Amino acid sequence: MTVYPMSLAIDTAKTQAAQIRVYSKSDEVQYVKVSVKKVIEPATDREHELPVGVADGGGLVVSPQKFVLSGGASHVVRLISLARPQEETLYRVYFEPVTTLDDGADDTRAVKGDVSVNLVWGVLVRVLPVVAQPRIEVVTPTSIENRGNVRVGVLDIGRCQQGPTPVSCVWHAVDSSVYPGQSLSVPDDVVPLSRSLLRVKYQVDSVKGIQTQEFPFN
């Protein structure tokens, strides 16, 4: 089977729902289990996941949680955010082939045999706040912090001379996602010196194009 899309965003200013379609690539009937996990400390070396259920109240739920996928057919799974979060929240929705839909059986055991059947698909789902407030701050010369409520994609960090334009800069490509409350280390070769500028190029979903922000150091 295949799953589409593999990543999506739910903009709660417009809707609290989305859908994922699962396609059969087999002539045989398959049984599929769907589960949701919340991503904690995403895009860091401390990233981990926690299971999410309806009892959690403010999380993400899926319907159905189990279904039969006929050979050559497709099936829609609906996602619903039970709340509008104050800041962007990240989930993964997993699609796993199982041996049975019987709740009393061990349906966590993946189907054996065909390698393609054993594949578990994980879809990345970003749930966005009603009002996006992107904001980055340079806390120290060696650290950039996301003090907004949405993910910021930091592309490049540069150390620039202060003075009339054009300004001479040394750039370091970063290409990192920084989620709300997280910080990003400034690469050693562009740590700002006295009377220099730290220039950050970044992207956010709520604004088109690449943004540039400057932080002077005297």
Q: Tens digits of per-residue pLDDT, 75-121?
A: 999 999 999 999 999 999 999 999 888 765 555 555 544 444 468 99
| pLDDT value, residue 59 | 87
| pLDDT value, residue 12 | 94
The pTM (predicted TM-score) of the whole model is: 0.85
**Statement: residue 74 has pLDDT above 80:** yes
User: Each residue of 116-150: pLDDT tens digit?
Assistant: 446 899 999 999 999 999 999 998 899 999 999 99
Q: What is the mean pLDDT of the chain?
A: 89
- Could you tell me the domains of the chain? 2-128 (2.60.40.10), 136-217 (2.60.40.3970)
Beta strands in the chain (DSSP E): 2-4, 7-11, 17-23, 30-40, 48-51, 60-63, 66-69, 74-81, 89-98, 121-128, 136-140, 143-146, 152-161, 169-178, 183-185, 196-204, 207-217
